[in-house]
Structure 1
Amino acid sequence: MVLTPSLSSIFYSLSSYIMEKDIIRGGQFLVKDVPCDAIFTPEDLNEEQKMMRDSVKEFADRELWANWERFEAKDYAFTEACMKKAGEMGLLAVAVPEKYEGLGMGFVSTVMVCDYISGATGSFSTAFGAHTGIGTMPITLYGTEEQKQKYVPKLASGEWFGAYCLTEPGAGSDANSGKTKAVLSEDGSHYLISGQKMWISNAGFCNLFIVFARIEDDKNITGFIIENDPSNGISLGDEEKKLGIHSSSTRQVFFNETKVPVENMLSERGNGFKIAMNALNVGRIKLAAGCLDAQRRVLGEAVNYANERIQFKTPIMNFGAIKAKIAQMAINAYVGESATYRAAKDIENRIAIREAAGNSHQEAELKGVEEFAIECSILKVAVSEDIQQTADEGVQVFGGMGFSADTPMESAWRDARISRIYEGTNEINRMLTVGMLVKKAMKGHVDLLGPATAVGEELMGIPSFEVPDFSACMSEEKDMVHRLKKVFLMVAGSAVQKFGPALEEHQQLLLCASDILIETYMAESAILRTEKNVKRFGEDAQKTQIAMAQLYLYQAVDIVISKAKEAIVSFAEGDEQRMMLMGLKRFTKYTNHPNVVALREQIADKIAADNRYTFDA
């Protein structure tokens, strides 16, 4: 099936709430109570998007999941062949504007394709993400019209494949420290690129490289588009021996005075670092999406095995210890879906608003994603860690068979590990979330001072002993999320007041604050999704979803308590410390504790009965 766009899909983002003057901005979730009707959920996909989703799932089942052993056998040619098939279906062209022979679909559709095409194998997921994201997107968003006309149609169709050369032996997280040089020729017609790049996905079969190099002693690196021609001073190292993603071609690339026409400079001189950072923002939410279906598939394999595996004369699915694992896998997938699609729609809305205001597609998409860079980093951390936990528990459910390479659990566990390193390590992304939020506050984009001051005044006041009315579905959970936001404002606000700009030097405190922020956003996303669906489908139809949202929140509260306490006792002393610890206890107090074991049983029994994860349908 070849996917084609329509006006309904292109303008689906222009829903009624998009043009609200007070539409939420990136990071504002922390200081605003978002109504459930204002968020997008997987249940909001339109009919065309559902058809696309089903087509992608069918492709992944037929071409990828059914052949997982070939990917584990380091069959790089098979990965390339599958990429060509994806190109023939139009799956490489979803985010490419129609002007360049793409499908011109919205950001939600782009994220959805990343979701369902990536779960079957980490090898293909890496090849797909490297090509469509960092291989194609920089030209689409930063290229000249001539560059886009020349290269993007070939990349969109799968005639050509792209790769991205940023990392060097001495430049990883510190991407702007690369040593690769670009020297302008005497006649000014071309640059000579010399240097070494490493960990380059798709290097073994790509036709085009996006390469970053430094011109003279420029402060920032510059991007170049280089066609892969071995006769032009380009050579490759051997395929890397890796823990996972075995059939993802990953090689070093060496440039020895490689000639690049001056017209192949990407964007402006010195703009390479900006290109790299914006590519990472997009890559982070797409990586989160790429971990979602992997969770669903691991869960499906685990529950199927647990239903069939007989021990002590009963399926192991009947044991409480196994139910706890299956329930947690389902919770992780549900919450990850909720937050990822929420953020994707927020980005799509912002892109639509900018385009309506007269911005070009390039400007609108760049600024739309940049606006929600905090959420993108949150998702990258949370969902990449969830897939690792899910894969680990999948191995455990299989027992000895899970450790065997004859089952897909072993490869799923190994493939999952890279996701915590891709697109900036999770440690870097944790610190970025808080750093970006503080910068937004300084620019006046997010009002942190007012709410933080109000929290400080509340701590000094007499607490209310009034019992709230929690009769409405999810009302107590929403109240708890509101109070978790106060915990962040209390901890982060006090830390900023104490350390000022030097806060970035206190990385362990930043990590604590980041975990509070992450858990709050993820929990709120699941709760709002559930509340929205209860309103339209009824409470009875959402019993398991309610249980998943409640149990995730319960776990999130524990994490927030632990991280907040760690931070408070590390930088506050005396009366300030005692006041903040009392505030923490007040803000995280449950009126009605959930029955944790009963919720797990309910979730696991539903998954067992369906024999798979069904909440994305």
Structure 2
Amino acid sequence: MSTETINKDILRGGQFLVKETKCEDVFTLEDLNEEQKMMRESTKEFVDRELWANWERFEKKDYEFTKECMLKAGELGLLSIAVPEAYGGMGMGFVSTMLVCDYISGATGSFSTAFGAHTGIGTLPITLYGTEEQKQKYVPKLATGEWFGAYCLTEPGAGSDANSGKTKAVLSKDGKHYSITGQKMWISNAGFCNLLIVFARIEDDKNITGFIVENDPENGISMGEEEKKLGIHSSSTRQVFFNETKVPVENMLSERGNGFKIAMNALNVGRIKLAAACLEAQRRVLNEAVNYANERIQFKTPIINFGAIKSKIAQMAINTYAGESACYRAAKNIEDRIAIREAEGNTHQEAELKGVEEYAIECSILKVAVSEDVQNTTDEGIQIFGGMGFSADTPMEKAWRDARISRIYEGTNEINRMLAVGMLVKKAMKGHVDLLGPATAVGEELMGIPSFDTPDFSELFAEEKDLIARLKKVFLMVAGSAVQKFGPDLESHQQLLLAASDILIEIYMAESTLLRTEKNAKRSGEETQEIEIAMTKLYLYEAVDLVIKKGKEAIVSFAEGDEQRMMLMGLKRFTKYTNQPNVVALRNKIADKVAADNGYTFDE
């Protein structure tokens, strides 16, 4: 573990809400080392050559082509980035695994889904929960692409409620194997996988159990037809049927009844990786849209010169920049936490499990925020292309269709919104995040007389930092009052949780964006960050508007009379701007830069 990691003040998961983060303590894309930059370039080169150049093949349900591309990715080592060296992998850190997941995922959702299902939920449960024998037997084959993995959790009656699955595992009389019987659905990579991570219930256990199952049609495993889907056309997606499929007892994954925990921790990793996978999709859609808008002439001028188009281009760039900022901030936090745990004596297995689990709140936040941004970006991409965007002859409509699934898998965005707030409250109850003290202080502040002093906002981002601190007070005010009023029953008030979660999401995304820009301005000079500063200010401006809307919605849903009036006044006080930015001027500045570069260049 580096001295830098030891000396850094690394916040625990969720603590961003109640503790200040210094810009020097966040990781940004601009902090990539030379090895990581080379890895990014080789990944982009592979994508351009093998995937982007053949995007039309992926729209024709060419599942075999997806498999071919996965094999090529395996030959280049791209499937083994996160696999420890002891099992044939590269053993790279969490940031590097995020980086590859990011840049390999932009060309087509079909390949992105196959890649994510294999390297994440198809391989990771074994590396994190498998015995040494299981890891030695299976992981090297998965790391090279000799074998491909799939993950069998969802059932017709068990989607978001993953622990309610009906698939059964019955121990044989001689105690040597389990017989698994049941039906799984929406299984990515099912058509060409060699190995399945299967979850089943033993007897009447409260929780499901995980198993490693080799795909053998002669062992009671059969597949449904390929599903007909809105997007990700060449991602193999089938139902899988198990009919007394025999699995050796030594292929139980972890302990009996530990399947639900395996599933949830695998989803935490999947969520932040999914967010990363949406980033390059945004960059490529934006690049295509800008290129088209620069060339498309209407009314004797390129449409990129029209204000309506500039507004869209600017928003697409801002959301991409914010997503990058938050994803890599969280990824480095996870990497550092893993390093600290290893230094304390944990095995890599234990350290990675706990490191990711620590930031489960941030993983859910990122999954929601970036998956919704990629949907909006692809939608605006179609709009900029106009009628051509609606045509299957351009990559815009397929990008829109591929993006749609990202709000559903790895837990729907609604589930993740409620999880983010729910996990934060649980952390507070365990004493891992002090919410009570700050929430009480906000309550006392509401009862006091507001200051009428004019603050000094002369330094870069002085007002923006003050605003973010006040947005945190909005969340503490709303969530603190809601917890006090409803207690354990809070989870049944879903619309209130959704509103509170949107406030939490905007705080994390806006703060991450600001910290990245501030860090780069300090080391390179403010003049080098003119456009990034504009994007940061605009993101926060829109975040404040959303917090006002969601804060009001939450407050009026549970508070009445004097309490409601006081909280609404607090909302107004905490979201007050002293110097509002010139929104149109900033949008034009951002769009002009992107147009001049003929695409998004802020990740370089």
Q: TM-score interval w.r.t. the shorter chain?
A: over 0.9
Question: Alignment length, in residue pairs?
Answer: 604
User: What is the DSSP-based 3-state SS (H/G/I as helix, E as strand, rest coil) of the residue aligned with 2:570?
Assistant: helix
CA displacement at 1:467 relative to structure 2: 1.1
Contact 2:9–2:25 (CA under 8 A) maintained in structure 1: no
User: Percent sequence identity over matched residues?
Assistant: 84
CA displacement at 1:23 relative to structure 2: 2.4
Q: Distance in 1 between matches of 2:141 and 2:424?
A: 39
Q: Distance in 1 between matches of 2:426 and 2:325?
A: 27
Q: Deviations over 1:416-472 (max 9, x none)?
A: 000000100000000001000000000000000000000011111111111111111
Name 1:183's counterpart in structure 2.
170
- The answer to whether structure 1 residue 427 and structure 2 residue 414 are counterparts is yes
Name 1:581's counterpart in structure 2.
568
Q: State the Cα RMSD in Å.
A: 0.7
User: What is the DSSP-based 3-state SS (H/G/I as helix, E as strand, rest coil) of the residue aligned with 1:354?
Assistant: helix
CA displacement at 1:20 relative to structure 2: 3.7
Q: Distance in 2 between matches of 1:598 and 1:476?
A: 19
Name 1:198's counterpart in structure 2.
185
Name 2:321's counterpart in structure 1.
334
CA displacement at 1:595 relative to structure 2: 0.3
Name 1:121's counterpart in structure 2.
108
* Aligned pairs (5 A) from 1:175-254: 175-254=162-241
| Paired amino acid for 2:103 | Y
| Paired amino acid for 2:492 | E
Name 2:581's counterpart in structure 1.
594
User: What is the DSSP-based 3-state SS (H/G/I as helix, E as strand, rest coil) of the residue aligned with 2:190?
Assistant: coil
Aligned counterpart in structure 1 of residue 425 of structure 2, from 438, 442, 447? 438
* Aligned pairs (5 A) from 1:461-500: 461-500=448-487
User: What is the DSSP-based 3-state SS (H/G/I as helix, E as strand, rest coil) of the residue aligned with 2:123?
Assistant: helix
Unaligned runs of at least 5 residues, structure 1: 1-10
- The answer to whether structure 1 residue 547 and structure 2 residue 534 are counterparts is yes
User: What is the DSSP-based 3-state SS (H/G/I as helix, E as strand, rest coil) of the residue aligned with 1:204?
Assistant: helix
| Paired amino acid for 1:146 | E
CA displacement at 1:15 relative to structure 2: 5.2
Please say which of residues 456-465 and 377-386 is displaced more in the overlay: 456-465
User: What is the DSSP-based 3-state SS (H/G/I as helix, E as strand, rest coil) of the residue aligned with 2:122?
Assistant: helix
- The answer to whether structure 1 residue 255 and structure 2 residue 242 are counterparts is yes
| Paired amino acid for 2:205 | D
User: What is the DSSP-based 3-state SS (H/G/I as helix, E as strand, rest coil) of the residue aligned with 2:212?
Assistant: strand
* Aligned pairs (5 A) from 1:20-39: 20=7, 22-39=9-26
User: What is the DSSP-based 3-state SS (H/G/I as helix, E as strand, rest coil) of the residue aligned with 2:104?
Assistant: helix
Q: Distance in 2 between matches of 1:119 and 1:337?
A: 14
* Aligned pairs (5 A) from 1:37-76: 37-76=24-63
Q: Deviations over 1:336-391 (max 9, x none)?
A: 00000000000001000000000001100000000000000000000000000000
Aligned counterpart in structure 2 of residue 526 of structure 1, from 499, 513, 522? 513
* Aligned pairs (5 A) from 1:281-292: 281-292=268-279
Aligned counterpart in structure 2 of residue 381 of structure 1, from 362, 368, 385? 368
Name 2:69's counterpart in structure 1.
82
Structure-2-length-normalised TM-score: 0.99
Q: Deviations over 1:170-219 (max 9, x none)?
A: 00000000000000111111000000000000000000000000000000
Aligned counterpart in structure 2 of residue 278 of structure 1, from 259, 262, 265? 265
Contact 2:8–2:25 (CA under 8 A) maintained in structure 1: no
Are the structure 2 counterparts of residues 21 and 106 from structure 1 closer, same or farther at C-alpha, using a change threshold of 3 Å? closer
User: What is the DSSP-based 3-state SS (H/G/I as helix, E as strand, rest coil) of the residue aligned with 2:568?
Assistant: helix
Q: Distance in 2 between matches of 1:107 and 1:467?
A: 44
User: What is the DSSP-based 3-state SS (H/G/I as helix, E as strand, rest coil) of the residue aligned with 1:424?
Assistant: coil
CA displacement at 1:261 relative to structure 2: 0.4
Q: Distance in 1 between matches of 2:590 and 2:111?
A: 31
User: What is the DSSP-based 3-state SS (H/G/I as helix, E as strand, rest coil) of the residue aligned with 2:61?
Assistant: coil
CA displacement at 1:109 relative to structure 2: 0.3
Q: Deviations over 1:36-62 (max 9, x none)?
A: 001000000001000000110111111
Q: Distance in 2 between matches of 1:531 and 1:331?
A: 16
Are the structure 2 counterparts of residues 22 and 549 from structure 1 closer, same or farther at C-alpha, using a change threshold of 3 Å? closer
Name 1:370's counterpart in structure 2.
357
Name 1:8's counterpart in structure 2.
none
Q: Distance in 2 between matches of 1:236 and 1:272?
A: 23
Name 1:5's counterpart in structure 2.
none
Q: Deviations over 1:83-130 (max 9, x none)?
A: 000000000000000000100000000001000000110000000000
User: What is the DSSP-based 3-state SS (H/G/I as helix, E as strand, rest coil) of the residue aligned with 2:245?
Assistant: strand
Q: Distance in 2 between matches of 1:27 and 1:337?
A: 19
